Structure 1
Amino acid sequence: MGWSFKLHAGIAAGLSGVLLLLAALTWLPGTLPLTGSKWPVVTVVVLLFPIFIAAVVRGILTRADKHSIWLAFRCLPGKAQAALGALVISGVVLMIFSTAGETNLQAPEMKDGRYFVFDTTPYARGTIEVSRSQYIAVLESDQRSMLAIPGLLFAGAAYAVLAAGELRRADVRSRRPAPQ
């Protein structure tokens, strides 16, 4: 497998790990630093699209079916398989626990020292004022989702790149002439 595949997958897996760790940290008391800043979300989105799209393109260029991609992934070293499996499982667990306790409240914002959230309850949609504790709970739930979803997508990108790299390595090896 070429170094570009390893680098691409390593960056995707590293970003996945960081985002999933930050998502898990939202369950600790208090809020994450930089809660009010928009630049972390923008940074994640700016990094996610080129990395994910490049992974999809690499997967398409292999012209392999799902079964071949799975077999290529199974040819990777056990540590790589375990690391990607751990990332995916932790991301899924984060999403399940995040959505299981989710209410109809979302999009928290603070105006003039008062706390507001958007209520998505049917027939009662609109912005409502809530207590500080409810505001923080909604804020943490939103952060958890906004960190876990891209974390899962980065893990998927790492999987696709490593499988595509393994397929490419196998293709190159099969084209070599046999020794005489």
Structure 2
Amino acid sequence: MGWSFKLHGGLAAGLGTALLVLAGLTWLPGTLHLSASGWPTAAIFALLFPIFIAALVRVFLRRADRHDMWLAFRCLPGKVEVALGALVLSGVTLLTVSGVGVGNVQAAEMKEGRYFVFDTTPYKRGTVEVSRSQYLDVLESDQRSMFAIPGVLFVGAAYFALTAGELRRAELGAWK
């Protein structure tokens, strides 16, 4: 596998790991103050789209089906397979548990000392005032989702990049 595939996959896996750790930190008491400003979200998505799209392009250029991709993934070192699997599993677990806790509310905000959330319950859609404790629960859930979803996508980009590298290595080996 070429160094660019390793660099691409390593960068994506590292960013995904960092975001999943931040998502896990939202379970600790208190809120993360990273999401108070808009720059973390902008930085996450500014990095996510080029890395993820480039990984997808690399896989599409290999013209491999799911079976070939799975075989190429199985050719990766065992520690890499386990690490990617653990990251995906932890991300999916974070998202699943996060979605169960707060119900049909999201987008916590504070205006003039009062706490509001957006209720997505059918026939009751709209902004409602809530207590501070419910506001903090929704805020933590929003932060968890804000970090976990891109984290899982970064791990997916690592999978695609490393798999494409193995497919490329196999193609080059077949021609020698």
TM-score where L is the length of structure 1: 0.95
1 CA distance for matches of 2:34 and 2:84? Answer: 28
Match of 1:71 in 2: 71
Shift of 1:34: 2.3
Residue 84 of structure 1: aligned partner = 84
Over residues 107-132 of structure 1, what are the superposed CA-to-partner deviations in whole Å (9 max), with x where a residue is unaligned? 11111111111111222211111111
Q: Which ranges of 4 or more aligned residues in structure 1 deviate by more than 6 Å?
A: none
Q: Percent identity?
A: 69
* Counterpart secondary structure, 1:107: strand
The Cα shift of 1:77 comes to: 0.4
Larger radius of gyration: 1
- Partner of 1:35, secondary structure, is helix
Cα distance in 2 between the residues matched to 1:38 and 1:86: 29
**1:101 equivalenced with 2:97 (yes/no):** no
Contact 2:105-2:120 within 8 A present in 1 as well: yes
Give the total of aligned pairs. Answer: 176
SS in 2 for 1:162: helix
- 1:40 Cα deviation from its structure 2 partner: 0.5
TM-score (norm 2): 0.97
Matches of 1:148 and 1:78, distance apart in 2? 24
Q: Over aligned residues, Cα RMSD in angstroms?
A: 0.8
Corresponding position of 1:60: 60
Task: Judge conservation of contact 2:35–2:41 (CA < 8 Å) in 1.
Answer: no
Query: Match for residue 7 of structure 1?
Result: 7
Task: Give distance in 2, aligned partners of 1:34 and 1:87.
Answer: 22
Worse-superposed segment, 142-151 or 97-106? 97-106
User: Greater share of helix residues, 1 or 2?
Assistant: 2
AA of the residue aligned to 1:71: L
Unpaired segments of 5 or more residues in structure 1? none
> Please, which moves more after superposition, 44-53 or 127-136?
127-136
Structure 1 residue 170 corresponds to structure 2 residue 175: no
Equivalent positions of 1:18-167 (< 5 A) are 18-167=18-167
